[in-house]
């Protein structure tokens, strides 16, 4: 069965460009799989600045990934 939403080895690094040279590692090698079976509730908790919002934005396709893949029903989220 294909997962409804899946993140595979996702990494997000902010900065590092010509103007903003300092790089900030927001998420490193993050993986998550949410099944398409029975409805369920999944919670994400953590300290301020731990990457919760960045993770959500990556899963929704609102931010670009530095590395890794996000799939929705087995298809790349970038094309949706």
Q: How many domains does the chain have?
A: 1
Tens-place pLDDT, residues 2-43: 789 999 999 999 987 777 678 899 999 999 999 888 888 889
Give me the residues paired with residue 70 across strands.
Answer: 7
CA distance 26 to 49: 8
For the record, the structure tokens of 61 come out as: 């396709």
CA distance 14 to 55: 13
**Ramachandran sector of residue 24 (left: φ over 0; alpha: ψ -120 to 50; beta: rest):** beta
Q: Is the pLDDT confidence value at 62 over 60?
A: yes
Q: Is the pLDDT confidence value at 71 over 80?
A: yes
Domain residues for the domain of 65 are: 5-79
Cβ neighbours of residue 23 closer than 8 Å, sequence gap 6 or more: 13, 14, 15, 16
């Amino acid at each position: 069965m294909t997962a409804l939403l899946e993140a595979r080895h996702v990494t997000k690094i902010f900065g590092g460009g010509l103007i903003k040279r300092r790089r900030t590692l927001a998420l490193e090698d993050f993986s998550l799989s949410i099944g398409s079976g029975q409805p369920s509730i999944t919670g994400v908790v953590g300290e301020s600045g731990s990457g919760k919002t960045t993770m959500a934005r990556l899963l929704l396709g609102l931010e670009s990934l530095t590395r890794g893949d996000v799939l929705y029903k087995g298809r790349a989220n970038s094309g949706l």
